[in-house]
Structure 1
Amino acid sequence: MPSNESQPQAGNNAVLRNINPSYTGFDHIRWYVGNARQAATYFVAQFGFNIVAYRGPETGSHLSCSYVVTNGNARFVFTAPITSPNNTWDKRASGADRQQLDEIHAHLTKHGDGVKDIAFAVDDVTGVWEHAVQHGAISIQEPQLLKDQSGEVRSATIQTYGDTAHTLINRSAYQGIFLPGYQAVSGQDRLNDLLPEIDVIEIDHCVGNQGWDGLDSIVNYEDALNFHRYWTVDDKDMCSEYSAMRSIVMASPNEVIKMPMNEPATGLKKSQIEEFVEYYNGPGCQHIAFRTPNILQAVENLTTRGVTFLSVPETYYANMRKRLASANITLAEDINLLQKYNILIDFDEGGYLLQIFTKHVVDRPTVFLEIIQRENFDGFGAGNFKSLFEAFERDQEMRGNLLLACLFLWGKLTVRYFLSVLQENPLTYVLGKNTANLRKEVEENSQELRFKLAQPSHQKIQHPYDPASVHSIPSLNAVPMDIFNAPNNTETRPRPYHKRYSISTPGHHWL
């Protein structure tokens, strides 16, 4: 009989809702990494996973190796190259193996360690794949049947945002540990015998970061995969004083798979979403959330194992206590312990959510993890976004990536300028071009000039600019004010709801 690890069940929501969907949950998440053994061991040591399967030269894979690790129903696969690109000496490798080797090396060069494939468990691989391809999805692998002595697995793969893929898998006729070609790794890792257990139920959701206007990719989920918009929030609710983003959560028809998508929104400084896209060199998976039945115990044990989390200021909990009292919400957990472990809280009239975010688990500031506990609450912590953004910004500032941004926006054209704050004059414009060129560029590209003013993080603007003295700014005197005249309904992007320093004159519309 196969061990329990060999048959992780997808999310229980499908059973609870008494439906028989095409999607039955997350099957696994495959990472491309530089060292698969080391990555697997890291998740064993810090997150309490167990290595359950292996594929490498001993199993007939001569160009790459993979380790499969599980905790509860969450399953990660770490795949790494074991030869250099353009390897010609090993004649045993197939064409498909060489193609994957090139793909892994290209991924590592472009993105670093990161998520390559978010695999979905489905009950009809061919049906889901055919519908996806007929509705615009790009096929990476047509439906195929993989067999060994333990049975058969049917799978197919399509492309999603960036270089990420979705493999569709039906393993209902398979009794093996993972997939054909993998061998079981027996025995629990001895390190887990010495360290406290981490109780993970399943993967709750996987978040994808997009570039500017990248939320257009949700159309692929709607058309190709029959997903629907489960939850959405715009930049006025998802912002700090300096940065913002927009987010939409896509869900499978039966809502057992949830895929939040983020894109940056206009802000005073570079957002964590922009930072991700720059370091990852494109869209990709930002974080994976593990659902746990007891977040306090999980975080205490994770901390013991050496996991580091984002910190939350004390003012957050002072405000949260007032909000909970005002809403007459009672938590089963001790809020003092939640504060001790920096656990965030969100709630509505029906229930509440507890969540916490690790720091990045790779060298690039890209991928991190979330631990989440749901108590009759299906949201994604919208009430915590401001605090979460500020926590990320503190880390961004330490990396030197919380940069100033003075944005001139016209249509889809964005040009960044930097401003300095001087004691003698609240604002000194450093345009990097003369006013004649500025006027020409504005007249050619837009009817509206938008100023987003920024200041160094260690300084505060002491005197908000007086709109009445707009003509007294020397660097703007040479620019006729008629070019700033724009209809009041001109809008290129929804505006973040946070503090702005805006300039306006009678009859002229400014942001």
Structure 2
Amino acid sequence: MAAYVKRLHHVSLHVSNVDKLANDFISKFKFNLFATRRTERTRQLVFRTGTAVFVVNERANRGEPQPADAGCLYDIPPCYPVDTACNVCFEVDDVRGSFEALRRLGCSFPVPPTTVRDPRGRVTYTVLRSVVGNVCHTLIDKSDYRGSFLPGFQVTEAEGGQAQAVTHVDHVDHITYACPTGTSREVLRWYQQLFGFQRFFMHSNDKADSGLVINQKGIGLRLTAMDYWKCGESGLSLPGCKFVLAESLPKQGSNQVNTFLKEHRAAGIQHIGLHTGNIVAAVRSMADAGVGFFSPPPAYYTQVGKLQEIEDAGQDVQKLARHGILLDADPQQQASSASEAQRYLLQVFSKPIFAEDTFFLELIQRKGASGFGEGNIQALWRSLQTYMEGDKAEEGAPETGLQQSR
């Protein structure tokens, strides 16, 4: 391990229309505008809900020149050809030491160690490229900083006591990468060797050498999960964030992973799971505001096995069906433990929030389960495929993503 990751600090997005995404985050997803940075060359807006923080950077539109020095702090200039979520910022103890160790291992650093100061202290950061598509990692040390966010940003009036948006999201639960076929093992090794990430086994069929392989009824998918500290050993009050690697199996037809790779033009962040303590209230609020969510096929809720799972969990089938919420029982829970409360999770997925069929958000509520809804993959796969093949065409090009309500 060359660099010890303490915690997730924020995720950066690069988009051509900051105003539209800002409106969507605030009015639809119920994020708060937390801080801003505006210069002649760039705009950076910070949105927060709970401990989940997104930094949105304005990039040049297609065909417009992008200056080599775009004045972008804590990131590289946002010049990717399509809108993208592409920088996962980690807090570390020693930026310069991490830089030297990672550089010796062959890492590329578009931004060397840099220190930024203001009256509240100083922050040192560096930016390195990962082995996943256009994903970069900003490594940041805030130990000498007493401000609310980062030097160079102005905290908005809302932080000073103004009314905050009502939100039910409390932290980032996981980040999923879409990877080309056959690359997950390389990605896993990179994060293990450089950052000390640990394998996270999602299911009894999740094997150390192959991950969780799903190959049935037209679904060919490999999932591998990892996290950056062992649960319960960090001594930190903040929750950890897991990473999921998704790739298609060889010789598969059109699917959502391949669609992402094509429209995003490379591997990258496919979706981010946001944890909520009340998924029904969160979905209701967001859907009423115009967020489009995928709904599983109606038969999902009437399958004998799934219906039994929902009833055993004490959930209202009609309520879940009304909001398109999926339920997945923990497959590793022993059936013989009759006295133990059932462990399960609830989840729902937004439609893509960019013009391309790429990045989307997931809401997830955990009731003791630690997986990612492996039992729901088939239902999700079918609903996404239906959207790709028919629903989106009916919506019309200008009306994709968040502009569609359920």
Taking structure 1 as the reference length, what is the TM-score of the superposition?
A: 0.65
Number of paired residues? 362
| Shift of residue 275, structure 1, vs aligned partner | 0.5
Deviation sequence 1:270-310 (CA, Å, 0-9, x none): 11100100000010100011000111111111111111111
Residue 343 of structure 2 corresponds to 351
Aligned in 2, Cα 1:192/1:366: closer, same or farther, shift over 3 Å?
farther
State the AA in 2 paired with 1:380. F
| 2:65 matches 1:85 | yes
Aligned in 2, Cα 1:307/1:126: closer, same or farther, shift over 3 Å?
same
Is contact 2:269-2:359 (8 Å) kept?
A: yes
State the AA in 2 paired with 1:85. P
Residue 378 of structure 1 corresponds to 370
Aligned in 2, Cα 1:99/1:344: closer, same or farther, shift over 3 Å?
closer
Residue 156 of structure 1 corresponds to 126
1:183 to 145, 154, 178: 154
| Shift of residue 117, structure 1, vs aligned partner | 0.5
| Shift of residue 135, structure 1, vs aligned partner | 3.3
Is contact 1:73-1:201 (8 Å) kept?
A: yes
What does residue range 282-301 of structure 1 map to in structure 2 within 5 Å?
Answer: 282-301=266-285
Of structures 1 and 2, the one scoring higher in RCO (CA 8 A, sep 6+) is 2
| 2:312 matches 1:330 | yes
Residue 400 of structure 2 corresponds to none
Q: Percent identity?
A: 27
* Secondary structure of 1:238 counterpart: strand
1:249 to 225, 228, 235: 225
State the AA in 2 paired with 1:253. W
Residue 107 of structure 2 corresponds to 137
Aligned in 2, Cα 1:55/1:312: closer, same or farther, shift over 3 Å?
same
Is contact 1:23-1:257 (8 Å) kept?
A: no
2:256 to 272, 275, 287: 272
| Shift of residue 214, structure 1, vs aligned partner | 2.2
2:5 to 9, 12, 23: 23
Structure 2 unaligned spans of 5+:
232-239, 334-341, 394-406
State the AA in 2 paired with 1:298. A
* Secondary structure of 2:385 counterpart: helix
* Secondary structure of 1:374 counterpart: strand
State the AA in 2 paired with 1:164. V
What does residue range 6-85 of structure 1 map to in structure 2 within 5 Å?
Answer: 22-57=4-39, 62-81=40-59, 84-85=64-65
| 2:144 matches 1:166 | no
Please give the alpha-carbon distance, in whole angstroms, between the structure 1 residues aligned to 2:282 and 2:49.
12
Please give the alpha-carbon distance, in whole angstroms, between the structure 1 residues aligned to 2:52 and 2:383.
27
Please give the alpha-carbon distance, in whole angstroms, between the structure 1 residues aligned to 2:66 and 2:299.
56
Residue 197 of structure 2 corresponds to 227
Please give the alpha-carbon distance, in whole angstroms, between the structure 1 residues aligned to 2:60 and 2:291.
28
Residue 404 of structure 2 corresponds to none
In angstroms, what is the RMSD of aligned CA positions?
3.0
Please give the alpha-carbon distance, in whole angstroms, between the structure 2 residues aligned to 1:76 and 1:328.
33
| Shift of residue 235, structure 1, vs aligned partner | 8.8
* Secondary structure of 1:176 counterpart: coil
Is contact 1:53-1:67 (8 Å) kept?
A: yes
| Shift of residue 257, structure 1, vs aligned partner | 2.9
| 2:244 matches 1:260 | yes
Deviation sequence 1:451-481 (CA, Å, 0-9, x none): xxxxxxxxxxxxxxxxxxxxxxxxxxxxxxx
Is contact 1:85-1:102 (8 Å) kept?
A: no
| Shift of residue 324, structure 1, vs aligned partner | 6.3
State the AA in 2 paired with 1:377. A
Please give the alpha-carbon distance, in whole angstroms, between the structure 2 residues aligned to 1:128 and 1:294.
39
State the AA in 1 paired with 2:25. F
Aligned in 2, Cα 1:192/1:49: closer, same or farther, shift over 3 Å?
farther
1:104 to 54, 71, 78: 78
Please give the alpha-carbon distance, in whole angstroms, between the structure 1 residues aligned to 2:83 and 2:66.
20
Is contact 2:310-2:327 (8 Å) kept?
A: no
State the AA in 1 paired with 2:290. G
Is contact 2:33-2:48 (8 Å) kept?
A: yes
| Shift of residue 82, structure 1, vs aligned partner | 7.0
| Shift of residue 133, structure 1, vs aligned partner | 3.2
Structure 1 unaligned spans of 5+:
1-20, 88-93, 402-511
Please give the alpha-carbon distance, in whole angstroms, between the structure 2 residues aligned to 1:141 and 1:178.
20
Aligned in 2, Cα 1:86/1:287: closer, same or farther, shift over 3 Å?
closer
Is contact 1:53-1:177 (8 Å) kept?
A: no
Residue 447 of structure 1 corresponds to none
Residue 399 of structure 2 corresponds to none
* Secondary structure of 1:285 counterpart: strand
Aligned in 2, Cα 1:128/1:345: closer, same or farther, shift over 3 Å?
farther
Deviation sequence 1:10-48 (CA, Å, 0-9, x none): xxxxxxxxxxx9433221111111122332221001111
State the AA in 2 paired with 1:241. K
Is contact 2:42-2:70 (8 Å) kept?
A: no
Residue 392 of structure 1 corresponds to 384
What does residue range 484-503 of structure 1 map to in structure 2 within 5 Å?
Answer: none
Aligned in 2, Cα 1:127/1:236: closer, same or farther, shift over 3 Å?
closer
